[in-house]
Structure formats: structure tokens, C-alpha cells
Chain A
Amino acid sequence: MASVTETPVRQLGDEHAEWAIKAALAAIVAPGSFFTGAERRAMATQARAARGLAEDGADLPPIVAEAVDRVAAEAMATRQSHVEAWVGSGRDILAYVELVSVVSQIASIDSYRIGLGAALDALGDPVDGEPTPEIAAEASMMNAWVPTVGVALAPTALSALPREKATKSALSAAWYLTDNVIHQYDVEPGRELTRSQMELVAARTSWLNECFF
């Protein structure tokens, strides 16, 4: 496991981001649309292990563990056949979207902490209760491998599951930009970095992740 512990850099941090992270971490251990809180927590633990940020993974069904590992550590290797195999195993395609949401959230939160030189957040105890599907009625197959509301873009990628989209959007708004201005390139958000500086960071991150977004 990689060492992630450093002397905390106390002057780093952002109050708005902390609220969004707190909400996301609470949602990760709460029942979702298809997975229980315990299952979602296990996926986050597995994702950390896949990135070398935790000693042990979690006890998950093989197809779930494989998908978590892939999204966490080599998302660029995902192909439509992986999604088809998921559905072929009898699982709902939107359960896959929920998995992607959980893994992407914990990966991004962990990356933020690592950037700040802070310890990773402890995952809370799972919240009891059965999954309660909350699905956008207008979601349909558009241009991606999973249903979305409207054309699939970064802001709409999780739109079939409104709770997941809301959590992702809150993190994105706190860290980067609100969804409605991501593609409005003349918008200068007035943050500690200029738009061009932020986009340089974004572009290099995407390059390192072999992502063309």
C-alpha cells in the first residue's frame, strides 16, 4: 500500500468543498438505488485497494469487484462489452451507473486529500435500509453505453440516477465549476486560479488518466 500520510498542510482547504465532501461520504455509506449502504461502502473500500490506497479490499461478488477495480484503476480500459457482461449477469444497467458513481466519488475525494497532504477520510458505518430506486423517468439510451437524460456529456453522465448526479454535481461545483458553465469557456469563475490555469490542471489530469474528455 502506498504511504498517504504526510504532515498536514494546515493552510490548505476549502469550506465549500468540505460540505460537499461530507455529504458525498454520507451518501456513499447510505442505501442507494440498487445497493445497500454496506455494499456501497464495500465498493468504496475495494476502490481504495485497487488504487493501492488501502491494504485490503472488500468481499464483493466477482463481477462487482472486477468492475470496481477497473473503474478505480483503469477506467480507460472499459469497453461496451464490460457493460453488456454486467447486464448479462442479470444486474440492472443502472446498478452499474451507481457503481461508477460511488467509485468515482471516493477516487476524487481521496485525490483531493492526497493533494492537500491530508489523511484519507474514514468511511462511516453503513446506514441500514434497503435500496430505494430513484430513477429519472426520462432516461433513455442516447450516445453512451448506459441510459442518460439527454445527450451524454460529463454533466449528464449520471443523470439517470438523480441522487448520484446531485452528489457528483455538488463536488464538481465546489472543486471546479458548476455543471451549467463547464462548456461556457468565456466564464471566469473568480477563484484562486484563472480559468486557463484550472483547465491546464484538468487537461493534464485527463492526459495522465488517458481520458479524452
Chain B
Amino acid sequence: MLRESARAHSLPVNVLAVTQPALDSGVPHGADLLAFVDAIALLDFYELPEARADLITAAGAGAATRAAAVCASFEGINRIVDAIGVPVNKRFYDIGDDLGVQVPDHLR
């Protein structure tokens, strides 16, 4: 959906940053967003305060709140689609190729 939304808005986005966060995503404040998400999703309570503070400094409290909200939303959505076996849409298979990962057989 990152790729599709970037295309829809004619924005240059490097989707490889999703799996290689050292790369520049091309998304404003992308590095700070990725560090914050990593700390939340990995329950990294050591890194989280600094990652949150960095994002607030760079993009504001509203941005940090929204980032936490979107991450939380996908913490739920990911569990739902994996637990009930929602197959991956074939039109997104090539994204897996781009990122160097394969869609697992049980979700094809």
C-alpha cells in the first residue's frame, strides 16, 4: 500500500527502506518513523523513549501520536489476516519480489 499510495500521489518512495531501514525511504521523517515503529512493534522499551522523543522533535507530537496509532492499527490487522488466512492479493506478489521475500504458500 506504500507503493500504491506513493504512485497515486506521484511521490518518489523507496520501498526497500521497509526491509532495509538504513536506506532513505524518500518519505519525510522516514527514518524517525521507522525507528519509532520498530521500538513499538518489537516492544523495545529501552529504545522507545528516545525514538519517540526524536520523532516528536522532528515532526511534532501529533505525528508521533498518529504513528503510534497506525502501528497499533496494523498490530491488530496483521493478527487478523494471518489468523484467519486472508490470502495475499496476486497483484502484490511482485512487491515481495522487490523486497526479496516470498509470499508463503499457505497465503497464496
Contacts and interface: CB of A to CB of B under 8 A. Distances in A.
B41 A205 contact: yes
Contact of B77 (A79, A154, A186, A201): A154
Q: How many interface residues does chain A have, given as a range?
A: 35 or more
Given A3-B45, A185-B7, A208-B42, A213 B2 contact: no
A192 B86 contact: no
A211 to B, nearest CB: 4
A114 to B, nearest CB: 6
Interface stretch (A27-35, A56-64, A168-176): A168-176
Contact of B80 (A17, A100, A116): A100
A52 B43 CA distance: 9
Interface stretch (A38-46, A69-77, A121-129, A131-139): A69-77
Residue of B29, B40, B56, B107 with highest tally of chain A CB at under 10 A: B40
Given A195-B9, A207-B19, A72 B73 contact: no
A200 interface: yes
Interface string A101-112: 101110111011
A123 to B, nearest CB: 17
Interface in B44-66: 45, 48-49, 52, 56, 59-66
A208 B69 contact: no
B104 A212 contact: yes
A171 B74 CA distance: 11
A157 interface: yes
A105 B76 contact: yes
B80 to A, nearest CB: 5
B106 A115 contact: no
Given A144-B84, A146-B84, A175 B70 contact: yes
Contacts of A146: 84-85
A9 B66 contact: no
Nearest to B70: A201
17 contacts: A2-B45, A104-B79, A107-B76, A115-B72, A117-B48, A154-B80, A176-B70, A193-B59, A197-B67, A198-B70, A199-B6, A202-B1, A207-B99, A209-B79, A212-B96, A213-B74, A213-B77
Interface of A: 2-4, 6, 9, 11-14, 17, 51-53, 70-72, 75-76, 78-80, 83, 96-97, 100-101, 103-105, 107-109, 111-112, 114-117, 143-146, 148, 152-154, 157-158, 168, 171-172, 174-176, 182-183, 185-186, 188, 191-209, 211-213
